[in-house]
Amino acid sequence: MPGAKRSRTTNSGPRWALASQAERFRSARAAHADETAEDYAEAIADLIAREGSARVTALAACLGVSHVTVIRALARLSRGGLVVVMPYKGVALTRAGRALAARAKHRHGVVLAFLRALGVPARVAETDAEGLEHHVSPATLRAMERFVKR
Amino acid sequence: MPGAKRSRTTNSGPRWALASQAERFRSARAAHADETAEDYAEAIADLIAREGSARVTALAACLGVSHVTVIRALARLSRGGLVVVMPYKGVALTRAGRALAARAKHRHGVVLAFLRALGVPARVAETDAEGLEHHVSPATLRAMERFVKR
DNA sequence: ACGCTATTGTAGCCAAGGCTACATGGAGGT
DNA sequence: ACCTCCATGTAGCCTTGGCTACAATAGCGT
Ligand SMILES: [Mn+2]
Ligand SMILES: [Mn+2]
Ligand SMILES: [Mn+2]
Ligand SMILES: [Mn+2]
């Protein structure tokens, strides 16, 4: 008979498969939790470098969200000790914030250069890099760097 | 004087930079919106293939979330016409659901094979692929396939 | 036939990340 | 000095995606 009835606890595949698959999903969810902080830190550092200051409105335009969304995100990052908000003056990065921005910027650059080296068109590479970067582990990042340097 | 005061509308960098950066962030957010559907479709198809049915409990174990989370996600996917839930029997994929699962599974496979080919250790590759897959555009996917086939 | 146990479902909580509409504040230009 | 405009902040709403605790039910084994 088809779908031969197996006792309720039996399951064909390898015993470790399910648990470690769950771990993979957990990792992806954890990456998403860090994503906002990374993107904000990088955007703030860029704005300060390019315009001398990072204003809430500029951040909103840059990230493609409303200023309200930025204000609330900054409040969270501030509680987390990554930024200092100076109303009507701009947002500054703390030491930890600058460190995060530097790591994010570096990784972003590597991922982008990697995609370009792979032969992905510039515009597409730029778009994909913005999402991919947050899921690139240190080991994969090293592999990408190796590849970029031929 | 340092930080030479620029008129309020001036901004150094290229004029198009901000808007298109916003577009990149919007794309990444859009990818996240599809992520749950893709992962669920793929997991359901896998469970059906491996065990003959996809039960809520099995999905929860597989995805690393509580059964409540699965039930609610399935309700949304059901409203979206991707799955049909048959209580105490299992979850079935609709035609659209099967198509999504097939695309997701293929892309996942390519991303994983690509990382392996790049020299990323198996465990790390499996973990990274779970998050990366959702941000790989068709153009990048093709580039990865090309690379895997040397 | 009946009870146990595992599966499924509900209620209600939380945080994040979006939004619009409206309120307040700063600062430049007149 | 003051007006006006823009930047900032608040109130309140929504959806997604987590969770725990508890309720209901299917179906197996006795
Ligand atoms: Mn980035
Ligand atoms: Mn990003
Ligand atoms: Mn992602
Ligand atoms: Mn995935």
Amino acid letter, A34: D
Q: Which of A111, A130, A145, A149 to mutate to test the interface with B (most CBs of B within 10 A)?
A: A130
Q: Residue A23 and residue B127: Cβ atoms within 8 Å? A: yes
Ligand 4 centroid – CA B133 distance (Å): 6
Q: Is the CB of A55 under 7 A from strand D?
A: yes
How many residue pairs bridge chain A and chain B with CB atoms within 8 Å of each other? Answer: 133
Ligand 4 centroid – CA B39 distance (Å): 5
Q: Which of A137, A144, A145, A148 to mutate to test the interface with B (most CBs of B within 10 A)?
A: A137
**pLDDT tens figures, A49-90:** 999 999 999 999 999 999 999 999 999 999 999 999 999 999
Question: Taking a C-beta distance cutoff of 8 angstroms, is the pair B56, B50 a contact?
Answer: no
**Amino acid B17 CA to nucleotide D2 C1' distance, rounded Å:** 38
Paired sense of beta strands A90-93 and B90-93, if any? unpaired
Predicted pLDDT of residue B17: 65
Q: Residue B132 and residue A127: Cβ atoms within 8 Å? A: no
Predicted pLDDT of residue A138: 98
From CA A127, how far away is CA B113, in angstroms rounded? 22
Q: Which residues of chain B have pLDDT under 70?
A: 1-19
Q: How far is CA B126 from CA B64, B92, B96, B104, B108, in A?
A: 15, 26, 26, 15, 9
Ligand 1 centroid – CA B78 distance (Å): 34
The ligand that comes nearest to the alpha carbon of residue B40 is: 4
Predicted pLDDT of residue B20: 87
From CA A140, how far away is CA A125, in angstroms rounded? 17
Its CATH class, for the domain covering A32-149, is mainly alpha
Span between the terminal Cα atoms of chain A, in Å: 56
Predicted pLDDT of residue A16: 59
**B14 shares contact with chain A (CB less than 8 Å):** no
| B64 closest-nt by C1' vs CA | D18
Q: Which residues of chain A have pLDDT under 50?
A: 1-13, 15
Predicted pLDDT of residue A17: 64
pTM (two decimals) = 0.90
Q: Which residues of A touch B40 (CB under 8 A)?
A: none
Predicted pLDDT of residue B16: 60
